[in-house]
Chains A and B, each alone.
Chain A
Amino acid sequence: MSTAIDDNVIHGEWHVRYNYSVGKVAGHFFDGLKQRKILASSCSASGIAYLPPRAYCERAFEPCDGWVEAGHQGVIEAATIVTAAFENLPPPPYAIAYVRLDNASTALVNFVRGMDLSDVPAAAAKLKPGAKVKVVFKDAPEGRITDFHYELAE
């Protein structure tokens, strides 16, 4: 038997490419982003305005039958500050938050930018649930979810 079992590995990698069809609902949402509008799909039966938008209201078992423009202000529902590097993810540090925007019933995830993250517990204290944030669009929106991010409102 070889004595070098620990080193005897076969190397492998996967490279797979995809083209994801956007569909009508996400397509409408992305068109809105190009005009700096964040559009929630709404259901008149349940009164819920969904972000991300849905074709169907899971609560009322009815199709979503309208669109509501979400405000560019909202409150944090949950947040974290990432200080470790993960493969294929952004270089740390960065902050992530689920935010419930005005006029929306559900919370939408995005980065919170423009804050000092060097003292993690201190930064986390500013990102507590209930903290107010605003939406900041980039200069030339492309119709992608990455067209905007959050920043603390005060």
Chain B
Amino acid sequence: MAKNVVALIGTGQTKFKTHYADKTYIELAQDAAKLALDDAGMEPGEIDAVVFSMAPTQFMGVNDCDRWATSHVWGAGKPFMRIHAGGATGGSALQAGYVHIASGVYRSVLVVGADRVAETPDAQHILNLIWDRFYEHDFALNTVTMTALAAQRYMARYGTTEEQFARVVVRGRKNAMGNPYAHLRGDITVDDVMNSPRVSYPYKRFDICPRSSGAAAVVLTNLDIAKQKSTKPAFVTGVSAITHSVFMGDRMGVYSETEFSDHDGEHIAAYEAYRQAGITNPASQIQVAELYDPFSTFQFPILEGLGFCGRGRAAAISDEGGWDMDGQVAINPSGGTLCTNPIGVTGLVRIVDAADQIRGKAGQNQIKGVHNAVATAAGGSTQFFTVTMLGDDHAPAGRVQ
């Protein structure tokens, strides 16, 4: 069955920061919904269904808070569904919205969410609770330690140094200076990163994302409505998601089908999304990548998995500035997840930033001549991976419908 063209015609994101003292959770979500609807030139009545993007709700402290938000995001009286895939939630929510339009079941869908990760004082306490009580919970696993384990393994495989990871932080914070919504930004040095307190080898504090609060939303619609509403939509040209076993220990060693430290799921998902979008040479056909990189160690394996360079090569290219704003592919012009991580919508922020680049709405951080952009998300115990392709042409050469 041929899929309908899916157009993204509205984006909205709030400023991200540690605390929002002047708004509640649902008011934040509402802000993003209103921004996206205004950008799309739509009234709430033109939205057929709402997809709500929200990961664990124990950070913000209202259990299953999606039900609190329904009417604030104009979901009352409509189909309303929450998507939760851990850190990959925003990418999965976008892909759920995509399926609603591609199938022809709905004409226009609002994908929206919000998070307040710092409403509780220690997010890692909550993240430790995602492991089973029988075999893994007792060993201090959380998102910091589990990704530190992957990073240590990656370093051993490819000889990457802590200083090379530190350069990713420096670049991200610098890029974020041009992004008015970013949480952390500024001119810092490799020494600043190296001298920040050690947390979990190889991580120092600056290798780790902040706990952010804020909201994001997009409006997806079909080609007919996009033509009426938008002079320049971003088209969703490829979507793919891969899920791994919960047990990270299954992805190490000679019996494993995938490699834990390589973020292999992202690689598998990327090449399916590329196939759909007609991308055969990612490094020459994609101009912008918005990566889900909450830790400084994520970029290299993901860039390699996305096919921008060979395995083990990304760090050396980084050292030479190849991933800078003016490099071969602009990596996280927004500053990325390392600078801003509102977990329940982080994957959606990646979509917003990538779509704004396609639509020429990225402000100070606009990259010239963006025809294709890729957005990733990852979640669970390095377990859920999504890759979404966005483009300025709904029928590019090689597109698989």
Q: Give A contacts to B, CB under 8 Å.
A: 5-6, 8, 12, 14, 18, 20, 22, 26, 48, 50-52, 58-59, 77-84, 86-90, 94, 96-98, 100, 105-111, 120-121, 123-124, 127-130, 145-146
- Cα–Cα distance between A60 and B121 once the two chains are bound (Å): 44
Q: Which residues of B contact A50 (CB under 8 A)?
A: 250
- How many contacts between A and B, using CB within 8 angstroms? 142
On whether the beta carbons of B249 and A98 are closer than 8 Å, the reply is yes
On whether the beta carbons of A107 and B253 are closer than 8 Å, the reply is yes
Report B195 CB to chain A, min CB distance, Å.
14
Task: Take A83-B199, A86-B128, A109-B136 as given contacts and tell me if A48 and B255 are in contact as well, using a CB distance cutoff of 8 Å.
Answer: yes
Verify if B21 is at the interface (C-beta below 8 Å from A).
yes
Taking a contact as CB atoms closer than 8 A, the residue among B61, B122, B153 that contacts A77 in the complex is B153
On whether the beta carbons of B199 and A111 are closer than 8 Å, the reply is no
Report A151 CB to chain B, min CB distance, Å.
15
- Cα–Cα distance between A36 and B153 once the two chains are bound (Å): 29
Verify if B197 is at the interface (C-beta below 8 Å from A).
yes
On whether the beta carbons of B200 and A12 are closer than 8 Å, the reply is no
A-B contact pairs, 11 of them (CB 8 A): A5-B21, A26-B134, A77-B260, A78-B252, A100-B253, A106-B250, A109-B248, A111-B139, A121-B201, A124-B152, A129-B156
- Cα–Cα distance between A106 and B150 once the two chains are bound (Å): 15
* Closest A residue by C-beta to B261: A78
Task: Take A87-B125, A106-B250 as given contacts and tell me if A98 and B156 are in contact as well, using a CB distance cutoff of 8 Å.
Answer: no
On whether the beta carbons of A109 and B153 are closer than 8 Å, the reply is no
On whether the beta carbons of A80 and B138 are closer than 8 Å, the reply is no
Taking a contact as CB atoms closer than 8 A, the residue among A86, A87, A96, A145 that contacts B135 in the complex is A145
Report B124 CB to chain A, min CB distance, Å.
4
* Closest A residue by C-beta to B246: A52
On whether the beta carbons of B138 and A145 are closer than 8 Å, the reply is yes
Task: Take A14-B58, A52-B247, A106-B249 as given contacts and tell me if A6 and B21 are in contact as well, using a CB distance cutoff of 8 Å.
Answer: yes
Name the segment of B72-80, B141-149, B224-232 touching the other chain: B141-149
Report A76 CB to chain B, min CB distance, Å.
9
Task: Take A14-B58, A98-B149 as given contacts and tell me if A88 and B21 are in contact as well, using a CB distance cutoff of 8 Å.
Answer: no
Task: Take A96-B140, A108-B135, A146-B138 as given contacts and tell me if A79 and B253 are in contact as well, using a CB distance cutoff of 8 Å.
Answer: no
Q: Which residues of A contact B307 (CB under 8 A)?
A: none
- Cα–Cα distance between A100 and B300 once the two chains are bound (Å): 26
* Closest A residue by C-beta to B248: A98
Per-residue A-contact encoding for B125-138, CB less than 8 Å = 1, 0 else: 10010000111101
Report A146 CB to chain B, min CB distance, Å.
5
Given A5-B21, A22-B134, 11 extra CB contacts under 8 A: A87-B122, A87-B125, A89-B124, A94-B140, A98-B149, A98-B249, A106-B249, A111-B139, A121-B201, A129-B157, A145-B134
Q: Which residues of A contact B255 (CB under 8 A)?
A: 48, 105-106
- Cα–Cα distance between A48 and B252 once the two chains are bound (Å): 13
Verify if B198 is at the interface (C-beta below 8 Å from A).
yes
Report B210 CB to chain A, min CB distance, Å.
15
Verify if B103 is at the interface (C-beta below 8 Å from A).
no
- Cα–Cα distance between A40 and B375 once the two chains are bound (Å): 39
* Closest B residue by C-beta to A109: B139
On whether the beta carbons of B252 and A100 are closer than 8 Å, the reply is yes
Verify if B22 is at the interface (C-beta below 8 Å from A).
yes
Most interface-central of A8, A90, A106 (chain B CB within 10 A): A106
Q: Which residues of A contact B199 (CB under 8 A)?
A: 82-84
On whether the beta carbons of B156 and A52 are closer than 8 Å, the reply is no
- Cα–Cα distance between A78 and B121 once the two chains are bound (Å): 29
* Closest A residue by C-beta to B121: A87
- Cα–Cα distance between A6 and B58 once the two chains are bound (Å): 22
Q: Which residues of A contact B285 (CB under 8 A)?
A: none
Report B264 CB to chain A, min CB distance, Å.
14
Report B57 CB to chain A, min CB distance, Å.
11
Verify if B245 is at the interface (C-beta below 8 Å from A).
yes
- Cα–Cα distance between A82 and B147 once the two chains are bound (Å): 12
Q: Which residues of B contact A89 (CB under 8 A)?
A: 124-125, 128, 140, 142
Taking a contact as CB atoms closer than 8 A, the residue among A12, A81, A107 that contacts B201 in the complex is A81
Report B221 CB to chain A, min CB distance, Å.
38
Q: Which residues of A contact B312 (CB under 8 A)?
A: none
Verify if B360 is at the interface (C-beta below 8 Å from A).
no
Q: Which residues of A contact B22 (CB under 8 A)?
A: 5
Task: Take A5-B21, A109-B139, A145-B134 as given contacts and tell me if A82 and B252 are in contact as well, using a CB distance cutoff of 8 Å.
Answer: no
Report A6 CB to chain B, min CB distance, Å.
4
Task: Take A20-B133, A109-B139 as given contacts and tell me if A78 and B58 are in contact as well, using a CB distance cutoff of 8 Å.
Answer: no
Report B274 CB to chain A, min CB distance, Å.
27
Report A67 CB to chain B, min CB distance, Å.
16
* Closest A residue by C-beta to B257: A59
- Cα–Cα distance between A105 and B201 once the two chains are bound (Å): 26
